[in-house]
Amino acid sequence: MGLESILHKRNNMKNSSINLVEKIKQLEADIELKNEKITSLKKRIKEYDEANFWENTSGLTNKKIEWIINKYENSKTERYKRIEFLMLNDKDRFKEESKKIFSLNIKLKKEEERIRIVAERMHISLEKQLTEKIIDDYNFYVSLSIWSNKEDCNNRHLVDLGDPFYEDESYGMFYHFTDESFYSDDWNEWKHRFPEPYDKEPMCYTMHCLWDHCNLNWQDLLDIDKVRLELKVDYQFFVKTPIKRKTNSRV
């Protein structure tokens, strides 16, 4: 093999080595970028949703979770833009639409007070039945569903008339461990954006859920015609099968 061939082969090997190093660096950069995206995604989940959101979405792909979060963030962005537009261009309409939202808020607050009494009685009864061994165990659930009679709203959410356009099965009210603050605190985090007198109006937790925990935009909130809160109980009864033990037989 001539000197020229040797030098050519060495250069090829050197170039291949450089290319391999570059590919490894690019791969490492891609992995780091992917990890940063996952970290950022988890951070956004913590910032924008309830504490149990990550657990609820653990079976979904990161792409699906990102789609959910983006939809949620976009709905909040839309509300910001809608409020800013109304504040600058149509204050009378802004006040009228705010009135409708806070009218729903007042009704939901009254329902919270009514349901709390029922839920507390249910918990007392369930624990009594458990103590007296009338039941073996139970599960207590609360769900929140909303409906609209407006065709545009149902079309936006791809549901038929008569079906809820939003459902929340992890709504965190009326459990025996629910903190008093859920019932008594003011959950209005947008006071500075509402017109008078609604900038001073307290917001109940249920309205806060619809406002801050859902992917509903401004028009969705205005289109709500019915809200249903459900208390559900699963009564559990267990039967244990005795374990058959083998006995040693002597011949």
The CA distance from 30 to 218, in Å, is 38
pLDDT of residue 212: 79
How far from chain centre, in Å, is Cα 25? 38
Could you state, in order of their start, the residue ranges of all structural domains in the chain?
69-236
Mean pLDDT of the chain: 79
Higher pLDDT, 85 or 35: 85
Q: At 46, is the pLDDT very low, low, confident or very high (cuts 50, 70, 90)?
A: low
pLDDT of residue 200: 82
The CA distance from 159 to 216, in Å, is 14
The CA distance from 17 to 242, in Å, is 68
Residue where the block lists tokens 């970290």: 39
Copy the structure tokens of residue 83. Answer: 């409020």
In 49-173, alpha helices (H): 53-56, 62-89, 91-131, 151-156
Q: At 50, is the pLDDT very low, low, confident or very high (cuts 50, 70, 90)?
A: very low
Residue 142's DSSP bridge partners are: 231
Q: At 211, is the pLDDT very low, low, confident or very high (cuts 50, 70, 90)?
A: confident
Say whether pTM exceeds 0.85.
no
Number of neighbouring beta carbons within 10 Å of residue 56: 13
